[in-house]
Chains A and B, each alone.
Chain A
Amino acid sequence: MGLLDLYKWGLPSQAEHLNRYRDNEPLYNMARSFWNSLDSASIYFMIAFLAIGLAIVCFYYYGYNKWPGRKYKIQHWALWLGITAALTVAATLILGAAIVSSNLQEKFGFLLRISLINSVYSILVYFIASLIICNIPVPTNAYRFLKIGK
């Protein structure tokens, strides 16, 4: 199982993808090489959503909340959740364009789908990290609304 499997639920299968070009050998080869390229780039995509999700959640709890302006409110937490998602989309698109080399017309569509999936993962990372931060005894100025129990 390759790392690309992480995105399988939002992408067509490899067979489905290649089948579309089975009558045109040069395009078929191009599609296969595109798929392989995506597969090898998927580690970077994963690093991107993890890094962005964790960096922003840490910034929210330990940086942003050092500023006045009632930053501890849930609406600010949600705002940074949205920023995490948007930044992940943008970062994945840029990363994909830089790493995945292919002239296949579908490239952008694929990268966009992967970016959107990545943003979902980054949201999950942001949420899970928030849940952990709210329940560990490390001081933060933010409101620990995800704290379990009293």
Chain B
Amino acid sequence: MAKVFVFCIGGTGLRVMKSVVMLAASGMKTHGYDIVPVILDPHVDLEENTVLTTTIGDYIKVYNNATSGGSAQQLNAPEGFFNTRIIRLEDLDNEQNSTSASMAEKKSFGQYLNVGALSNEDVNHYLIQTLYSKDNLKNSLSVGFKGNPNVGTVVLNEMISGADWYDAFQRHCEKGDRVFIISSIFGGTGASGYPLLEKKIKEDVAHPQVQNALMGAVTVLPYFSLEDPTTSGSDIDSSNFYTKTKAALTYYEKSVKSDYLYYAGEQSLKAQYKNNEKEQKDKAHLVELVAASALFDFLERPAPNSPQAMTRAIRENVDALDLNTLGDGYKDIVKNVANMMIFDLLLDILPDELQFPLKKTRGLNKDFYLDQPFGSLNAFVKQFRKWYAELSENQRGFAPLNRVSKGEKLTPIIKTISLKAKNESYYLLKMIEASNKEAKNEHGNKLRYLLDFAYNGITNYTDRI
């Protein structure tokens, strides 16, 4: 199976990758590519880093449960939910170390440059004073580059050279594999990391399969602002985001050579976050979702004759976007997100559905609902629900679905259209019919039955979107 190595650089890279994982779980197609996420963020203590690593681990657990046929038999990937295989780079090597661990630097930038060893009269000392502020030099590298690409460029360049994760990437990248880089352009880590990594790959003559891999990238333009740094005491000032973006774009224009370069951004900085670079507990955002969708778009495109710059728009400029205001290009995303949210409702109902026919025919009984595979699936789907809630509440909101609770009418679950399924029983019935159509106990993986039949049942109604 071909792979796509997805390099997620910096905080935005992490958040976009989370959206990629969620979309993959909802059934977005990668056209036969396995996703290999490579997290590149020196800010290893960042909660988002841990959250993403856990989310990827949870996804892999569900995928493995869904494809295990028992007694070493391996099933094909599911048709719908969790249809894409995600493999950690360290799993390709059967190792336990994450890529970020090797990037962690507990030193300050000044210590990293060994500035203390330079005498005050040394010309290099003056050069450093010219290029970097005192705050730059004092900053601990373990919290990232705090929106300073001039710091990131120096540190990341060395971090990429000879890094274990890059060696692993070189070893496992095969002919036909692709590369996708996710970064932001208005911060420090992503803005500096993307051109460096791209250059490193494009100049890797010793590994033609790496050098010639079709490359896509998404660079995220400013989409949020931060609280005034004079009140928060932070080193990051979001009023500089546009200036930094313009400077970086000028550089990108001449230097980056990705086959497809996607730009995702906002017209204005609508969302305002707390200015706390240590935590960065920011809600999921539409722009991250759009950036994540770029990966899926890239995977269905052939190699272009020349580098292509891509972007995507929304139909109407409103604060809460639904299917109409998003535009037709978002139908697939809305449909998949709706499928997963309906699945979430069904997962709430099914354990209490004591006379559900699949209990007898497919073994979806009490023991199954108490077992680890269902628990892992349910926990993941709850994360998905939380992720969607964040997306819908943020500014601007991705909110094509109405909030529907257990037992309520389901016809209006997708705003602006009316589904034929009036309540859960319509989906349950289609699940039973899907089960009846399939050969009896062809594998015995109960979780797989649940995933397949639920997807089949749900899409029976949502396919009209």
Contact = CB atoms under 8 A, between A and B. Distances in A.
Q: Do these two chains really belong together in a complex?
A: yes
Interface of A: 66-70, 72-74, 137, 139-145, 147
Interface size class of B (residues with CB under 8 A): 10 to 19
Nearest to B421: A68
Closest 5 CB pairs of A and B: A139-B436, A68-B426, A143-B355, A68-B425, A141-B432
B197 to A, nearest CB: 52
A50 B7 CA distance: 70
B429 A68 contact: yes
B461 to A, nearest CB: 11
25 contacts: A68-B423, A68-B426, A68-B428, A69-B425, A70-B353, A70-B355, A70-B428, A72-B356, A72-B357, A72-B432, A74-B355, A137-B440, A139-B436, A139-B437, A140-B436, A141-B357, A141-B429, A141-B432, A141-B433, A142-B357, A143-B356, A143-B360, A144-B360, A145-B360, A147-B360
A69 B426 CA distance: 7
Interface of B: 353, 355-357, 359-361, 421-423, 425-426, 428-429, 432-433, 436-437, 440
Q: Is the interface of B mostly helix, strand, loop or mixed?
A: helix
Contacts of A69: 425
Nearest to B353: A70
A3 to B, nearest CB: 38
A98 B155 CA distance: 100
A150 to B, nearest CB: 8
A119 B425 CA distance: 32
Contacts of A145: 355, 360
Interface-central residue, B361, B429, B433, by most chain A CB under 10 Å: B429
Nearest to A72: B357
A144 B357 CA distance: 7
A147 B361 CA distance: 10
A130 to B, nearest CB: 14
Contacts of A139: 436-437
A139 to B, nearest CB: 4
A66 B436 CA distance: 12
B428 A143 contact: no
B422 A68 contact: yes
Contacts of B428: 68, 70
Nearest to A145: B355
Contacts of B357: 72, 140-144
Contacts of B429: 66-68, 141
B425 A144 contact: no
B359 A141 contact: no
A87 B356 CA distance: 28
B436 A144 contact: no
Contacts of B436: 139-141
